Each structure stands twice: as C-alpha cells, then as structure tokens.
Amino acid sequence: MGKKKTNKIYLIICGIAFVIMLIVLFMEGPENIINALGKLNPLFLVLAVGCMVIYWLTEGIAVHFAAKSLDPKIKFSTTLLVTMIGQYFNCITPFASGGQPMQVYTYYQKGVSLGSAMTALLSKFIVYQFTLTIYSVIFLICKLPMFTDGELKPLTVLVIIGFIVNTFVIVMLLMLAFFRKATTKLAHALIRLLGKLRIVKNVDDTLEYIDKELTQYYENFIFIRSRPAVILKMFIVTVIQLLVYFSITYVIYIGFDIPHNTDFFTIISCQAFVLMISAFVPLPGAMGAAEGSYAAFFKGIFGDYYTGVSTFIWRFLTFYLPILVGIVINLRMTKRGVDLSNAAEAVKEVEAQNKGEAE
C-alpha cells in the first residue's frame, strides 16, 4: 500500500474518531452542551488557541536554533513550515512516526542538506524526550500519590507504563551516546531473535536500517556535545513549550464560570499524565485513550456538567486543529508541485545518490 493511500486512510480514521467524539458529546443533550458553552468566556477560548500557537512557535524556535547553527542561511519561516508539516503528519500517524520524513524532505526542497535537516530534527527529538522525562519525574513524585486510591487507580498503572516507555527511550539514547558498541550489539541480538521468531522477515535489511539509525543518533550526540549553548537554548524553549501545552486545560478551566477549586500545578500534572498514557497507544493521536484518560482525570475537576465539553475543546485544539492547518498547508504545497506523499522514498533516493557520489 502506498504512503499516500495510507495517509488517506489515517485521515479517514481521524474523521471517524471526530464524529464519534461529537456523538458521545451530544449524548449528554444538546441543551446541556449549549448551556455549558455559554458558561465559557470567549476570551479564554482565544487564549487557549493562543497557547497552541505558542506551542507551535516554540517548537519551531527550538528546531531553528539547531538548524541555524548548521546552516546560517535557513530562514525561520522555512523552519516554521517544517514544524507545522511535522505536527500534521505526527497527528495522523501511529506513535507520531510520520512527521520526521516529511520534515526532512521539506527542508531539502528548501535547499537544506539532508544531513543538516536530520541533525536539527533529531536533536530536537532528543532534547524533547529529556525535557519530557524531567517533567514526568516531577509530576509523578509530587502528584501521582493523589490518584493511587479510588476510581483513578487503574489509570495510575497506565501512567507508570507510559513513563517507563519514555524512560526506556532516554536510557537507550544514553546508552547509544556512551556505549555505542554495546548498544549496537544489543540491537543486533534483538533483531536476530525476532528473526528466529519470524516476527522480523528480512533480518539483513533490518540490521542495515538499524545501523544507519543508530549511527545517525550517535552523530547527533556528537553535535549536542559540540554545541552546549545551542542545546541549552533548545532545552529552555522546550521547557516553555511543554509548560504552555500543559496549561491549555488550565486556561479552559479558568474560562468556565464555575468554582475554581483546583490549583494550576494539579491541572498541568493531570495533563502530563494524559500525555504519558497516550505515549504507548499505537493509534494516530492515541485516539480513544487520550479522550478517555482526559475525561477520567478531569471529571473531578470540571464536574459531570463540563467534562464532555472541556474534553472536546481540548482535543480539538491539540489534535484536530493541527490536522486542519496541516491539510491547508499540504494542499498549498501540492499546488506548488511539492508532493509529500512519497517523502520518505524521496529522502532514501537522495541519500542513496549522495552515497553513490561519495563513493
């Protein structure tokens, strides 16, 4: 199945999920929804949208710090375009796996070398994972004990699993940074084991792909060690980026004309727990798990009357809005002759060509 067709299927799935979310929302009664929305101050809805815009801008700024240090000619407008394309394809693909090839290809179309594009984007990924882990540790220590009893107890297990998944990624990255040979041997042994179990079909091709990816990550750590000032700036911006993202629900909460009995730190902690649960769900945008865990964690904060509406607003802003913006950008790029549907294949072709020229 071609990548373009696969992305269309993912989009259809996202559309179906949106319709289901609307149906579940309207099951609470149209009058209740209208009344609940009437209690929302429009100014705070605008501020919540503004938080998403800031989230996108800070993502672009962090990536641009790395990209600019590699290629001074890169314009921020290019990096911002790359950022929004990444947001779109990350939303519509499982495990947010589809964004990076599209971003690399877009950078390449704008005259940026593949090496610089990959290094900038992978450096941002590494910084993001480290920052998210730091946030997660703080929230788990300070707030998770509040939810270990009662109805939310089963969700705390999922939060811990999500934290373990993110921590595993960080541990593997650290192993690669400081124990490259051992990490490579471990990866090879795992692939060969999966081959014997017939889970991995083409072992040699998979090993070649793994070696290439591990080499790329290792080279990124060399880049990180050589530019501590750049990485520090990326880290600071990413701290702000995640804090703004976690704050979206708090802005929505303050916007409703209800008693505000929950503090800011508790709300952003709950938002972080939702993100941890979503991390290991193999569906675009962790559909179902994201909405369900959000509603569960915030039911006691918003109350039965406002939980459905707040879930819909949050999900629309953080998931469906990037998709809508991404569709518009993708259509405009297609009209200009840039086809992102085969970006991954195009990147591989350019890499093979560059390798052939080097040899």
165 in a domain, yes or no?
no
Give the per-residue pLDDT at 251: 97
Beta pairing partners, 284: 94
Q: 107 CB contacts (<8 Å, ≥6 apart)?
A: 67, 74, 78, 82, 116, 117, 120
pLDDT at position 147 over 90: no
The CA-atom distances, in angstroms, between 22 and each of 46, 85, 236, 283, 285 are 21, 26, 37, 19, 17
Structural domain harbouring 316: 43-152+228-345
For residue range 243-290, what is the model confidence (pLDDT) as tens digits?
A: 999 999 999 999 998 889 999 999 999 999 999 998 878 888 888 889
pLDDT at position 354 over 60: no
Which candidate, 235, 237, 256, places its Cα nearest to that of 47? 256
138 in a domain, yes or no?
yes
pLDDT at position 161 over 60: yes
Question: What's the rounded Cα separation, in Å, for the pair 34 and 325?
Answer: 26
Which candidate, 62, 111, 66, 110, places its Cα nearest to that of 83? 62
114 in a domain, yes or no?
yes
101 in a domain, yes or no?
yes
Q: What is the mean pLDDT of residues 206-232?
A: 85
318 in a domain, yes or no?
yes
The confidence band for 351, taking pLDDT boundaries of 50, 70 and 90, is low
Give the per-residue pLDDT at 269: 95
User: How many distinct structural domains can be found in the chain?
Assistant: 1
Give the per-residue pLDDT at 338: 72
Its pTM stands at 0.88
The CA-atom distances, in angstroms, between 105 and each of 27, 56, 119, 312 are 43, 19, 13, 33
Give the per-residue pLDDT at 31: 84
Q: Where are the alpha helices (DSSP H) in 144-263?
A: 153-178, 180-196, 203-226, 228-255
The CA-atom distances, in angstroms, between 258 and each of 2, 34, 307 are 49, 15, 12
With vertex at residue 130, the alpha carbon angle to CA 265 and CA 164, rounded to the nearest 5 degrees, is 80
pLDDT at position 2 over 60: no
351 in a domain, yes or no?
no
* % of the chain surpassing 90 pLDDT: 43
pLDDT at position 223 over 70: yes
Q: Which range, of 75-79, 123-127, 199-203, 255-259, averages the lowest pLDDT?
A: 199-203
CB-CB contact of 67 with 302 (8 Å) = no
Q: Which range, of 1-10, 82-91, 204-213, 268-277, averages the lowest pLDDT?
A: 1-10
For residue range 23-74, what is the model confidence (pLDDT) as tens digits?
A: 888 887 788 888 888 899 999 999 999 999 999 999 999 999 999 998 999 9
236 in a domain, yes or no?
yes
Average pLDDT, the chain: 87
Give the per-residue pLDDT at 3: 63
When mean pLDDT is compared over 6-20, 122-136, 208-222, 232-246, the highest value belongs to 232-246
- Of 176 and 15, the one with more pLDDT: 15
SS3 336: coil
Beta pairing partners, 94: 284
pLDDT at position 11 over 90: no
Give the per-residue pLDDT at 248: 97
pLDDT at position 349 over 70: no
SS3 sequence of 70-129: HCCCCCHHHHHHHHHHHHHHHHHCECCCCHHHHHHHHHHHCCCCHHHHHHHHHHHHHHHH
For residue range 316-347, what is the model confidence (pLDDT) as tens digits?
A: 999 999 999 999 998 888 887 776 666 656 56
157 in a domain, yes or no?
no
Question: What's the rounded Cα separation, in Å, for the pair 87 and 98?
Answer: 9
For residue range 90-126, what is the model confidence (pLDDT) as tens digits?
A: 998 887 777 888 898 899 888 888 888 888 998 899 8
